[in-house]
Structure 1
Amino acid sequence: MTTTTRSDAAPHLRIARRLAPAQALYVFGSSVDLTLTGIVGSRLAPTTALATVPFSLIPVVAVATTFVISRFIGRLGYRRVFVSVAFVAVLAGLVSAVAVQLDLFWLFCVGTGLIGAYSAGAGYYRYAAADASGSQRARAVTTVLAGGLVAALLGPFLATWVSGLLPVAFVASYLLVALFGALAAVWNLTLPRELAELGRGAAGGGRSGEAASAPEDRPRTRRVLWRQPVLIAGVAATSFAAISMTSMMTAGPIAGMAMGHSEADAALAVQLHMIGMFAPGFVIARVIGRFGERSITVAGAILVIVAGAAAACSTAEWAFLTAMFAIGVGWNFAFSGGSALITDAYRPSERGRVQPIAEVITNGFQVVGSLSAGVLATVPGWRMLGIALIVLSVVVGIGVAAVRRSVRSSAPDAATASPAADA
């Protein structure tokens, strides 16, 4: 028993821990956009109503490119795709910097939109780690996400610290995106050989698995896979985390200034938000192992309720900062738990029938959250957002909590789910 556990944990330690720095470099670059794009967008946009469009383009492009990236993973393997999307980040940072320098709103939209392709590719880091980790999938997912902790702590501070180094404000900040993209490309070139082959043939729909001789190794149909309550709950959790976090984070900086807070206060709120998103990373794997994916997801929903209550009850600085921090921690819990539920619901040969669809749905809710932020970035809108998040959290929390009973009470569904799903 001990030998099996150690051999099973070895891929997790080798692959997931190598992907954690890749996640960190991604968060370093993306933290610039998370911290500054709302503020810069409000400066460059011809009207206030368009201020959140650059940020909204990130999930829009992520949705548009997710299936394409999945196909490339199926043909080229994870490693080549991870290197390629990092080079896209280099281009995105350079385009954004030029746009800020020339005061061109449309070009800034192009630059931030390109980050969406990088975001879509980086979203597969956790899936690659899970695919290589056997029964340690939950630990692999949370280990990769934990890699963003240091970047979440330092990235926003770097973004604001370098913003005034060049004559035009924020140009240097977006050059950081290009720099971290280049570092990510170099690091991803050194990823283990397993990732060069892992994913090939399966990301496009699992065709390689259909030739397996054992019936239990043959990929199930999408209809069978997507009727699993555990998979539906996982996608609902990640989608809930996405729309909650994105709507509050996108509207937050602009709404904060509408409340009378300064740009420095708005940037601090995003920095606290980023810390909340990634600070639990080092302990969340153990917490999931002890309490289970569903319990952690429900805890995330409760934290989002705290964020919503803070936003709804007051516009004071403490309430504003509390809402931004709590939504970050709530996102971490709900997204980690939901991702673990998703990876428990499919076999390696079935990844192409689950991963891209789950990513498109999750990113689609990010789009909704971003686009709605333009209306919510006012004092009344901020309060309304808080109330809406409370209601949504209650619905999702109850739904995820009920899945355990429905899975165990349904023999066919329990049989098709991974045993780890009920751990």
Structure 2
Amino acid sequence: MTGIARGVAENAARRNALVLATAQAVVGSAGPIAISIGGLAGFWLLAADKSFATLPVTGYNLGVALGAIPAAALMRAIGRRHGFVAGSLITATGALCAALALFQQSFWLFALALVMVGTGGSFTQQYRFAAADGAPRTYQPRAIAIVLAGGIFAAVIGPQAVRFTDGLFFPVEFAGAFFALAVLGLIGAAVLSFLRVPPVSSENHVDDAIPPRPLAAIVRQPRFLVGLLCGVGTYATMSFVMTGAPLAMVGCGLSRDVSVLGIQWHVLAMFGPSFFTGRLIARFGKTRIVATGMLLLAASAAVSLAGLAIWNFWLGLVLLGLGWNFGFIGATAMVAETYRPSERNKTQGLHDMVLFGCVAAASLLSGRIYVAAGWETMNFVVFPVVATCLAALALQAIRGRRVAAEG
């Protein structure tokens, strides 16, 4: 690829990433809203067994997991732009259903509504892959990071929507936040109508004449498996701790407002570093950045175990968010280099189905373990997960050096 052609491709990819980042800011607020109040709303709706309070958050994550492959298939059939618009409308519809469930005080309808919101979220999760489409390979980590940087605004918009609509429909709790989310979904659909996915650059499709490989052949690659393991380990651990954090804060006597602000700081930490994570990956490599993310997750657990003051919760959540950013963006970039453009839809769909299936299970276990064993036990779980991922990264690095030496 010539310098001029590379510049054109980067400009197109940058514009594309900015559109997706804007959509991430508004539609992506569904995640902070669902996570910050989903468990609290479940606690409010349940009269008996409170250990299922986080089930609505699980429903959200389950929707993301179940929608991953259908979302990829739909976008393969109708294109990224129309698929993403459809996903935003699904989010808006699910939010309206959630508000209705709260008015009817129906726990199960509320949980099902969050499944629908999560299904819309499965489209949002593929913004990062769409940002890499057509971008020169060296620009892909930065394009992914730009999109995730939109989450900084989602981190503010989501929790603030919860705070400003609090008590709006008293005595019905939390309904105002979901009406606000429905509006945000419609705004996101309008933004995404400007999306123009650039053609895949020649740098990235030099092997297009080669027939796509079977999915099993792609999945068997050690690089793919390590990337998937670290992505799952990072995201599931983050979801496990984050989902239980609001319950733990309120359970320790802190206010609901403190818990919502804690999640806001957490989500800001998740997406704030995205402005420079791509550059860090380019300079230090994906493996080192993912390993740094894992160490930050361990530091988060250590801070949370040190006490139950506000600063323990908030600093622990900030470190948890930073660890997620480094670990997840690095792992996503690792996976993105293991498949060809012709293989991207099926690979991305499978990747997100496995990833968010594990995240859904983690969020369900969060409430169960919090009620049964407490906040400290939840944080102790982080350490074996981190150790497993670090061991996989070390083995992959050793294998890479050995292959390079033999070559």
1:228 equivalent to 2:221? Answer: yes
Q: Deviations over 1:44-90 (max 9, x none)?
A: 12320221111101121222222111211221111111111111111
Give, as a single letter, the amino acid of the residue that structure 2 aligns with 1:128.
Answer: A
Which residue of 2 is the match for residue 10 of structure 1?
A: 11
> Matches of residues 254-273 of structure 1 in structure 2 within 5 Å?
254-273=247-266
Which residue of 1 is the match for residue 383 of structure 2?
A: 390
1:315 equivalent to 2:318? Answer: no
Deviation at 1:305, TM superposition (A): 0.3
Cα contact 1:229–1:406 (8 A) shared by 2: no
Which residue of 1 is the match for residue 183 of structure 2?
A: 179
Which residue of 1 is the match for residue 280 of structure 2?
A: 287
Calculate the aligned-residue CA RMSD, in Å: 2.4
Instruction: Give distance in 2, aligned partners of 1:83 and 1:69.
Output: 11
Change in CA separation of 1:148 and 1:215 when aligned onto 2, cut-off 3 Å: closer
Aligned length in residues: 400
Deviation at 1:4, TM superposition (A): 4.9
Cα contact 1:146–1:282 (8 A) shared by 2: yes
Deviation at 1:141, TM superposition (A): 1.0
Instruction: Give distance in 2, aligned partners of 1:45 and 1:324.
Output: 26
Cα contact 2:226–2:392 (8 A) shared by 1: yes
Cα contact 1:243–1:366 (8 A) shared by 2: yes
Aligned-partner SS, 1:41: helix
Deviation at 1:362, TM superposition (A): 0.7
Change in CA separation of 1:214 and 1:155 when aligned onto 2, cut-off 3 Å: closer
Give, as a single letter, the amino acid of the residue that structure 2 aligns with 1:190.
Answer: F
Which residue of 2 is the match for residue 60 of structure 1?
A: 62
Give, as a single letter, the amino acid of the residue that structure 1 aligns with 2:90.
Answer: V
Structure 2: gaps spanning 5 or more residues: none
Q: Deviations over 1:200-243 (max 9, x none)?
A: xxxxxxxxxxxx99686332232332222221121112101211
> Matches of residues 328-343 of structure 1 in structure 2 within 5 Å?
328-343=321-336
Cα contact 1:230–1:407 (8 A) shared by 2: no
Deviation at 1:375, TM superposition (A): 2.0
Instruction: Give distance in 2, aligned partners of 1:78 and 1:34.
Output: 27
Cα contact 2:91–2:118 (8 A) shared by 1: no
Deviation at 1:262, TM superposition (A): 2.2
Q: Deviations over 1:162-211 (max 9, x none)?
A: 2223333322111011011001111112211x37x98xxxxxxxxxxxxx
Cα contact 1:258–1:379 (8 A) shared by 2: no
2:319 corresponds, among 321, 326, 335, to 326
Q: Deviations over 1:225-265 (max 9, x none)?
A: 22222211211121012111111111111122222322222
Instruction: Give distance in 2, aligned partners of 1:3 and 1:129.
Output: 20
Change in CA separation of 1:380 and 1:214 when aligned onto 2, cut-off 3 Å: closer
1:144 equivalent to 2:147? Answer: yes
1:350 equivalent to 2:343? Answer: yes
Instruction: Give distance in 1, aligned partners of 2:113 and 2:257.
Output: 24
Identical residues among aligned pairs (%): 27
> Matches of residues 150-165 of structure 1 in structure 2 within 5 Å?
150-165=153-168
Give, as a single letter, the amino acid of the residue that structure 2 aligns with 1:264.
Answer: D
> TM-score scaled by structure 1?
0.88
Instruction: Give distance in 1, aligned partners of 2:148 and 2:210.
Output: 29
Cα contact 2:17–2:144 (8 A) shared by 1: yes
Change in CA separation of 1:30 and 1:176 when aligned onto 2, cut-off 3 Å: farther
Cα contact 1:315–1:379 (8 A) shared by 2: no
Deviation at 1:3, TM superposition (A): 3.1
1:189 equivalent to 2:189? Answer: no
Structure 1: gaps spanning 5 or more residues: 199-211, 416-423
Aligned-partner SS, 1:409: helix
